[in-house]
Amino acid sequence: MAKKTPIKQAGRSELVIITGMSGSGKGTALKALEDLGYYSVDNLPLELIPKFAELTGSSPQIASAALVVDVREGEAMRRFPAMYEQIQKALPTKLLFLEADDSSLMRRFSETRRPHPLGGDRSVATSVKEERQVLEPIRALADIVLNTSKFNVHELREVIGEKFGAGRDETQILIYVTSFGYRHGIPPDSDLVFDVRFLPNPNYIPQYKDLTGKNPNVAKYIRSFPQTNEFMERISDLLEYLLPHYIEEGKSYLTISFGCTGGHHRSVMMAEEIRKRLGKMGYRVKGLHRDIQK
């Protein structure tokens, strides 16, 4: 499906090529660009991409265009890196690569019950692993890499709008504050990780063991120690210093993770507190407690 854009003004057209892992949200990203006025095409055969780029650059009707190319092209995808370098020389082009954690991709395929494009007799897990290997040379060329594991459809559209929408507010950044348990592994999409296992553990207090850091009494217990309050103040000061620099570098979203042993008490309390503090500073913040139910 394609959508025409208004007649372009003076200047060169722009082409955005979307690629990445199956199930990572490429269709959603394309639709978001279409709604921003991009002439959009899904699953264009690889051989036609150079001609499409040529038409984008020469047509007075197309101010900006976007297309999706992925492993549905089969072995032809191996020719894409060389093709992309040639297109860049002829037309301002950005490569947007979408990916997600293996667990997120497998869950999405399970929920939609759609087969993986590499399917056949292979499991989804095997297909995802093979797809990552095939796409790694293309990922290395990407101008923008987005991990969509935490995004719902609306949040992904919002991020695309921030990166490609005219008149967007470059000072905005979406911050995820996550709690986790080290026994379950560090969240792979973390940008900043803070270990709070040095704080006294409510797990050893019988009345707190089956509660979480969201409980007011548990939070009060953790805050009763001077090292807790000092740590919160130091982290708040650090983030107040760092975040403007991340924004200046063009980062659209940031994941800050706090980890304790099980991900139930100390990390949850700390993530909640920092989330509230960042909100008061005027940042857009979302909280996630990955292991609170484990």
Residue pLDDT, tens place only, 18-56: 999 999 999 999 999 988 888 899 888 888 999 989 888
Q: What is the CATH code for 14-164?
A: 3.40.50.300
Instruction: Give 201-231 pLDDT, tens digit per residue.
Output: 999 999 999 999 999 999 999 999 999 999 9
The residue among 68 and 62 whose pLDDT is bigger is 68
Helices 266-280 and 216-223 cross at an angle (nearest 10°) of 90
Q: Supply the mean pLDDT for the chain.
A: 87
Domain ranges of the chain: 14-164, 174-289
> What pLDDT was estimated at residue 168?
47
> What pLDDT was estimated at residue 12?
56
Residue in the structure block whose two tokens are 């395929």? 109
CA atoms within 13 A on the CB side of 284: 12
The DSSP code sequence of 144-204 is: EEEE-TT--HHHHHHHHHHHHSTT--TT--EEEEEEEEGGG---TT-SEEEE-TTS--GGG
pLDDT of residue 3 exceeding 70, the answer is: no
Report percent pLDDT > 90 for the chain.
Answer: 53
Instruction: Give 96-124 pLDDT, tens digit per residue.
Output: 999 999 888 988 888 777 788 887 677 88
> What pLDDT was estimated at residue 167?
47
pLDDT of residue 7 exceeding 80, the answer is: no
In this prediction the pTM is 0.62
